[in-house]
Amino acid sequence: MLSVIIKGKQCGHKYNVEKPSFNMLKFPENIFKGVSVMKIVIDLSKSVYEICKEHPEVVTIMKDLGFENITNPGMLQTAGRFMTIPKGATMKHIPMEKIKEAFAAKGYELKD
């Protein structure tokens, strides 16, 4: 049984599911009105290695942006320890604005 709790209150909907998925839940249209979604903040001064260790899903985002070598564990363990996202963007000629947009679309905020 899955009970959905929003802002500390049960919304009254209960679902019998083994593996709940947020997409399968049906809520009244206005239930999320005024609810802010927290973004995960990533510090751009951290190394790519540190960021990927904390947030493994970042590897996929960066690969999709053109950082193909990030999926190579050896590369992440070596160059990733001193490389930052801004340095990599400069090397790969990928605009930081494009990177920020891609991360924002996945729920991340990049902090300088």
Per-residue model confidence as pLDDT tens digits over 92-111: 999 999 999 999 999 999 99
Q: What is the pLDDT of residues 5-47, one digit of tens each?
A: 444 444 555 544 455 555 556 666 666 666 666 789 999 999 9
Q: What pLDDT is attached to residue 39? A: 83
Q: What pLDDT is attached to residue 15? A: 47
Q: What pLDDT is attached to residue 33? A: 67
Q: What is the pLDDT of residues 52-79, one digit of tens each?
A: 999 999 999 999 999 999 999 999 999 9
Q: What pLDDT is attached to residue 112? A: 87
Q: What pLDDT is attached to residue 29? A: 64
Q: What pLDDT is attached to residue 57? A: 94
Smallest CA-to-CA distance from 12 within 36, 34, 28 is with: 28
Q: Please report the domains of the chain, with CATH numbers, ordered by start residue.
A: 40-111 (1.10.3910.10)
Element (H, E) at 89: helix 85-92
Smallest CA-to-CA distance from 42 within 19, 62, 67, 63 is with: 62
Distance CA 94, CA 87 (A): 10
Strand partners, 5: 10
Is residue 2 classed as helix, strand or coil in its secondary structure? strand
Q: Are strands 2-6 and 9-15 parallel, antiparallel or unpaired?
A: antiparallel
